[in-house]
Amino acid sequence: MYRVLARAYRSTTFDEVVGQEVTATTLKNALKSGRIHHGYLFTGTRGVGKTSMARILAKALNCLAFEAPTPTPCCKCESCTAVAEGQDIDVVEIDAASNTGVDNIRELRSNATLRPARARFKVYIIDEVHMLSTGAFNALLKTLEEPPPHVKFILATTEIQKVPATIISRCQRFDFKAINTDAMASHLAKIAAAEHVQTDDGVLRRVARLANGSMRDALSLLDQLLSYDPKHLTSAIVNEVLPPPHDELSAAVLQCVADRDAAGALRALDIALQTGRTVDRFCDHLIEHVRTLMLLRVCGPDTDLVDVAATIRTTLISQAEKFDGPTYVYMIALLEELRRNVKFSGAARALADAAVVRLAMSHQFTDLGVLLGRLEGNDAAATASPADAKKNAAPDSAARRGPTPIAPAPSRSAAEQPAQRRTPAEWERATRDPLVQRVKAAVDGTLLDIRPAQPAGANAAPPSEVADEGEPTLFATEE
């Protein structure tokens, strides 16, 4: 019978777990020295080996081939084989996602008082523990505080921030890292060899990059490829079957932004979303990509803060040169705003399109800001943007690096004409202008207003005859 790769190649010993060497070593040493805690908490994104590690720890605690807990369980005894299958009577796996209630935990507590049937410990592995209800957490807390000596808990979660601090502080916590691309690719190569599959250069690395740190995702992608051709995986098959990695899609969008090509950026976004990614997933990827470029730009190409495969590092370094530090900060702020907004919007796609256009055409958007500033008689506030601070620091940077998201300079006419106070009638006309209304509607609430806060007193006083009706502004400025 065919077993999916993720199950067939699940790690069975501490030394086999890929990418979590620190956790594995710490647990092995604890087992060797007998300093075994009664509660462990494994946290990390999905598919990084939490459940595998929990089962290995359970085997290590209960292996029948040894007199005491061992760092090297035999993997052959009744206990080890049953645990590996998730069928052991003394090692109870609970999926908190489907057992959220207080009753489930009460039942667990009353069973926990019973001695284990054949092994040394009763081990409870609670997966996705953050899904428990408040009542269930409280019930669990009592047991975690003073468990019977024969009971061990292994809690696993992908969302540590949802686990109460009282639970966390009663466990030994291990943070599982996303598995880096090189380690994953070499593990995939071993599996391919074991399955007698030939692979072209770069195929497995491509799979590893797509999996984004999750071994389980990598193995199911490999499964998918193998059902297309179980003998030989070529680059052509990968191109056919798998979507392009998100960093390529993100790079394509940013390239268009750098070229101020809004149409191209929209097309690139469309391609990215056609591959089945949701808008907020894509935002995550784009933010991560921009962050990588920012680190490369700010810390230099050799920085170890960036964890990318050697093969794409060169490409990223050359892309990083296209923008400067403040621009990256602006982009991240804008994309983060977008990411938050799409979660609560029925028009996520439109917001994403608008944000991409704004990034690509931000030079024009800021000209508009200057224009609106002049309407408000407020040149200083409208033009003294972070871009100007940057421009003053490095006057040639804008020209040399091409686009910056904020206008390189106020338009000539703005610079030439002194600020003018508008009469109330002019204000009325200006704010009722359909174009201004549309721009206001498009920008308000959806995207960042990049103007700095107005300094107290500066240009703030409206003409006295307007004061009674409140200060006229195009944008709501109160925070």
Q: Which residues bind Zn ion (CB under 5 A)?
A: 63, 65, 73-74, 77, 80
Nearer to Zn ion, 89 or 236 (CB): 89
Query: Rounded to the nearest whole angstrom, what is the least distance from the CB of residue 60 to Zn ion in the complex?
Result: 9
Q: What's the min distance (Å) between Cβ of 90 and Zn ion? A: 13
Cβ proximity to Zn ion, 81 vs 100, nearer residue: 81
Shorter beta-carbon distance to Zn ion: residue 13 or 100: 13
Query: Smaller CB distance to Zn ion: residue 63 or 398?
Result: 63
Q: Is 407 left (phi over 0), alpha (psi -120 to 50) or beta?
A: beta
- Minimal distance in Å, beta carbon 194 to Zn ion? 23
CB-nearer residue toward Zn ion: 81 or 454 = 81
Roughly how many angstroms between the first and final C-alpha of the chain, as a whole number? Answer: 63
Least separation, in Å, of the C-beta of 70 and Zn ion?
8
- CB 90 within 8 Å of CB 62: yes
CB of 76 to Zn ion, least distance (A): 6
Query: What is the C-alpha to C-alpha distance for residues 155 and 54, in angstroms, rounded to an integer?
Result: 8
CA dihedral 410, 413, 415, 418 (to 10 degrees): -130
Cα distance between residue 213 and residue 307, in whole Å: 11
CA dihedral for 67, 71, 75, 78, sign (positive or negative): positive
**119/208 with CB nearer Zn ion:** 119
Query: Considering the complex, what minimum distance in angstroms separates the CB of residue 85 from Zn ion?
Result: 13
26 or 66, CB closer to Zn ion? 66
Q: Which is nearer to Zn ion, 65 or 160 (CB)?
A: 65
Residue 61 or 63: the one with the smaller Cβ distance to Zn ion is 63
β partners of residue 124: 92, 153
> Which sign does the torsion angle of CA 240, 246, 248, 250 carry?
positive
* 172-175 vs 39-43, strand pairing mode: parallel
Nearer CB in complex with Zn ion: 63/295 = 63
17 neighbors 11 (Cβ within 8 angstroms): yes
Contact 262, 301 (CB under 8 A): no
Q: From the CB of 176, what's the least distance to Zn ion, in Å?
A: 24
CA distance linking residue 393 with residue 168, whole number of Å: 47
User: Are 127 and 96 a contacting pair, CB within 8 Å?
Assistant: yes
Give me the least distance between CB of 80 and Zn ion, in Å please: 3
CA dihedral 216, 1, 79, 62 (to 10 degrees): -10
Minimum separation from the CB atom of position 59 to Zn ion (A): 6
Q: How far is the CB of 21 from Zn ion (least distance, A)?
A: 23
Which amino acid is present at 285?
H
Single-letter amino acid code for the residue at 173: R
Nearer to Zn ion, 77 or 447 (CB): 77
Residue 64 near residue 118, CB atoms below 8 Å? yes
Q: Where are the beta strands (DSSP E) in 196-327?
A: 198-199, 232-233
Burial 157-191 (b: 16+ CB within 10 A, else e): bbeeeebeeebbebbeebebbbbebebbbebbbeb
Cβ at position 66, least distance to Zn ion in Å? 7
